[in-house]
Amino acid sequence: MELEISKDSLVVYKALSSEVRLQIIQLLTHQKMSIQELAQHLNLSNAIVLMHLNKLEAAGIIGFERSCHKKLSYLKVDNINIHFPQTIYPAFAMYTVEIPVGQFTDYSVTPSCGLAGQNDYIGKVDNPQYFMSPDRVKAGMIWWIDGYVEYQFPNYLETDDKLEILDLSMELGSEFPFSNNVWPSDITISINQTEIGTWTSPGDFSDIRGKYTPDWVPDNVNQYGLLKILRVTNHGSYLDGQPFTDVSIDTIDWHEPTFTVRFEVKKDARHRGGCTIFDHNFGNYNQDIQMKLFHS
């Protein structure tokens, strides 16, 4: 049964506002019962029980049927939903920022590693020095085995704003020379020096071409990753909508002028399978690394 906060639903609310009628509902959840049977269970007269039953019937909660000479009562609903006229939570304002994968501000990587642009590789492959090339900002895909890459997201929150939810979404995969569709890698994500958690990428995919991967990229190297959505709330963190870690918004120092986001494959990781990050020019998703700040 679906109810609104309105006069039309008032008959149901009145029918439920009685301890006796609630007892009747509980009894009828087990079986159909006659007026006499209900009266015996409730230690009330038949007339009083019939009066209560009539109110429940008028509300559409129970019905009557004949069985031989008996008039039996039965439940017609097993669930009642009440719809309030407006949500009890205020709508949050939101800032959205996207950072290209080549616009990292710090790194420490080991080969195999490299950067790829729209028309060719950027610099020499497997040479970490080229990660500081001015042309790195043109990269649409970067990859490395061990180490980390960091990005700085601007913090547009005003003094009176309170951060409620932080969303971070990006297309990630493992890294294997050429490719390996079954190549797990533990990729740790940190925000403002706080480790949020570690996700295990299942592989470095090239079974099919990436939807946005440029034609010049060979078929047997990284083609696409998996879109991962990390959400940090005031009661914990979630990855793709599932509970991830206990790290909450209050754990992160969100009053800094920037949000520092680090993607890292640690030397002591169980699966050291590298990391590949894609932006809107590569892979399967038309977006860069995206951060959303929901605030009140």
Kindly indicate the confidence band of residue 80, based on its pLDDT and cuts at 50, 70 and 90.
confident
Kindly indicate the confidence band of residue 86, based on its pLDDT and cuts at 50, 70 and 90.
low
Compute the average pLDDT of residues 118-146: 96
Measured CA to CA in angstroms, residue 40 lies from 18, 44, 74, 76 at distances of: 18, 7, 17, 22
Q: pLDDT at position 77, please? A: 81
CA distance 131 to 112: 12
> Which letter, b or e, does each residue of 30-63 get, where b requires 16 or more Cβ atoms within 10 Å of its Cβ?
eebbbbebbbeeeebeeeebeebbebbeebebbe
Q: pLDDT at position 182, please? A: 94
Nearest-10 Cα torsion for 131, 135, 138, 140: -30
Task: Note the pTM of the prediction, 2 decimals.
Answer: 0.71
Torsion region of 192: left, alpha or beta (phi above 0 gives left; psi -120 to 50 gives alpha):
left
Compute the average pLDDT of residues 31-52: 92
CA distance 191 to 242: 19
Q: Is the pLDDT of residue 3 over 90?
A: no
Compute the average pLDDT of residues 166-195: 96
Residue, of 184 and 4, whose pLDDT is higher: 184
Residue 193, CB half-sphere, CA atoms under 13 Å: how many?
A: 3
Instruction: Find where tokens 């900002």 sit.
Output: 137
Closest CA to 222 of 201, 205, 209: 205
**Which tokens sit at 36?**
């006499």
Compute the average pLDDT of residues 15-22: 91
Instruction: Find where tokens 């000479």 sit.
Output: 69
The mean pLDDT value of the chain amounts to 93
User: 148 by DSSP, 3-state: which?
Assistant: strand
Among 67-81, 209-223, 237-251, name the one with the lowest average pLDDT: 67-81
Compute the average pLDDT of residues 109-134: 96
